[in-house]
Structure 1
């Protein structure tokens, strides 16, 4: 009943206020939640809005749509920019972060919304693709951007924000790999997926790993020592293209129950406006909420620390020193 009430009756706040002078980055912003979050940002009048997308042509289409169909605002030319970011390539992630560092004077918020839910098994950059894109590349980008965000905090007396699109489905995966041998959790995840691929299970698991990583990062870099807020959100079930391969039954269910992408995108923008109190937190329906018991339990804490330890080693192998911020 809680899920149905949330989906059908919960009122989410429409983003308001002014983004004058601010620079915002939204990944996965050519469609769905990311595009609608970017539209909300554009309506609030930012100095610069970066649409970070894998397909630049689709990004340009999204840019034109936002510019011509966003109520109540006319943005100066060059406000919205389309930048290449392929989360399936660590080199692309590094190049994007390098461009941010070199070309932007400040970054106020990063909405990390890019994610996948593939229907078939594929290894990308040594791991199953869902894990690579949703988890490893996401936190590689977080760590690569952290020096820029910290510099902006000091120079402009602000507290930048990194918001990651997680999900309530973090409560659902079985996650037997948490009992794997030392340093073997990510390897076992990919091996198990290769033997018997279940796209839903992989997606659910990627969202659990995201929640673990956000909490682990905040524990090791608490709000009183890190001038950047990192949090994650549950946008609810939305009418995006993420589950486009699920068939007619799921399509009908979504038509009846799912939020519009505009409605769900409010949760991203809301979280990106929260302060230090949300650092390491999980926001559900725009409210700080404890995550599921598989996170908060003693067993969950052990799994969280093991996942973070392995993730740090992976990130350091990709870019030495990247987690030393």
Structure 2
């Protein structure tokens, strides 16, 4: 999941003289457009009026092989909610967040409504996270060997626990081995699935069949080394040895995000927490990437829940570390 381009203002977006200024709307749209989304599809619609910003899910944006249940689409929308909230705070307003449709209304695609209530300066931490929105990117290579400090790990853990989400680190070689087994299994399943591989190829920027103008990923942005090699897996990719994969996992800082239930609202909450944690990492000078695709398999989610003793359903694995500088590095 990664951002592609600023979200363009869609038909129906409006402001009043007492509402958002044109510059305010541009700030909100830019922040939302920088949220990570599955295959860069940006599966949301942002509208504004008065001092309210409304985010809706575009459920018509469907990846039938990669995301048949819409899990990643909802994670993407949750990430956009985090960016929207921070942008309202950065504009100097106290923000009231309401998730989902109002009681008694029928608007199933309504994700969240953020309303500016009164003038209020953002906190230092909010300002840091907001400024990190434009710097956040996916780092799909092995990290520098320097480990994260205890302070950084605690800050990320606290951020991951936002929005009623359970966050915990993968610790010890036994847990790393369990995760490696699950990720390796998922990678083998998807590598052999010709329908999945065909859809993935169509969404690659340089893939055969072209790419929808509203999304797409560059083939060179797919991870082929280390833990990232078992994220989005192509048929020609060589999968890492499971023992070696377990060693990589044990040496990295990898967090799992889980929720008590496994419903659409929980997916959105997990997406909020994912982005909140990612922006926290970026503000600390860390690199990060997410792994979600293997968790689309029911048996992988169940296996991780059982082997890690999770109190709920896992949705996201987040990798954190220090980047290894590469000349001409591409942001993704």
Q: If the length of structure 2 is used for normalisation, what is the TM-score?
A: 0.26
Task: Please state which structure has a larger fraction of its residues in helix.
Answer: 1
